Chains A and B, each alone.
Chain A
Amino acid sequence: MIRVAAVGDIHLGPDVAGQYRERLTGLADHADVLLVAGDLTRHGTLEEGRIVADELRDAPVPVIAVLGNHDYHSEAENEITEMLGEAGVTVLHSGGTMIDCGGVRLGVAGCKGFGGGFAGSSGDEFGEREMKAFIRHTRELSDGLYESLAALDDQGADLKVALTHYSPVKDTLTGEPLEIYPFLGSYLLAEAIDRAGADLAVHGHAHMGSEKGVTPNGVRVRNVALPVIKQAYAVYGLEKRDSSRPPAEAGRSAR
Chain B
Amino acid sequence: MTRAGEAPHYLVERIRDRVAEQAHELGIHVEVCGDVVYLRGGVVSEERRREVEEAARAAAGGCTIRNEVSVIPAAVPDGEERLT
Contacts and interface: CB of A to CB of B under 8 A. Distances in A.
B25 to A, nearest CB: 8
A235 B77 contact: yes
A166 to B, nearest CB: 13
A151 B26 CA distance: 35
Secondary structure class of chain A's binding surface, majority of residues: mixed
Contacts of B81: 234-237
Contacts of A234: 77, 80-81
Interface in A1-39: 1, 3, 9-11, 15-16, 19-20, 23, 26, 30
A236 B80 contact: yes
Contacts of A227: 27, 41-43, 72
B27 A208 contact: yes
B44 to A, nearest CB: 6
Interface residues of A, number: 37
Interface in A202-237: 206-208, 220, 225-227, 229-237
A43 interface: yes
Contacts of B79: 235
A15 B80 contact: no
Interface string B15-57: 0000000001011010000000000011111011000000000
A200 interface: yes
A232 B75 contact: yes
Interface of A: 1, 3, 9-11, 15-16, 19-20, 23, 26, 30, 42-43, 70, 73, 177, 199-200, 206-208, 220, 225-227, 229-239
13 contacts: A1-B82, A26-B76, A30-B77, A199-B83, A206-B27, A207-B27, A227-B41, A230-B42, A230-B73, A231-B75, A232-B77, A236-B83, A239-B82
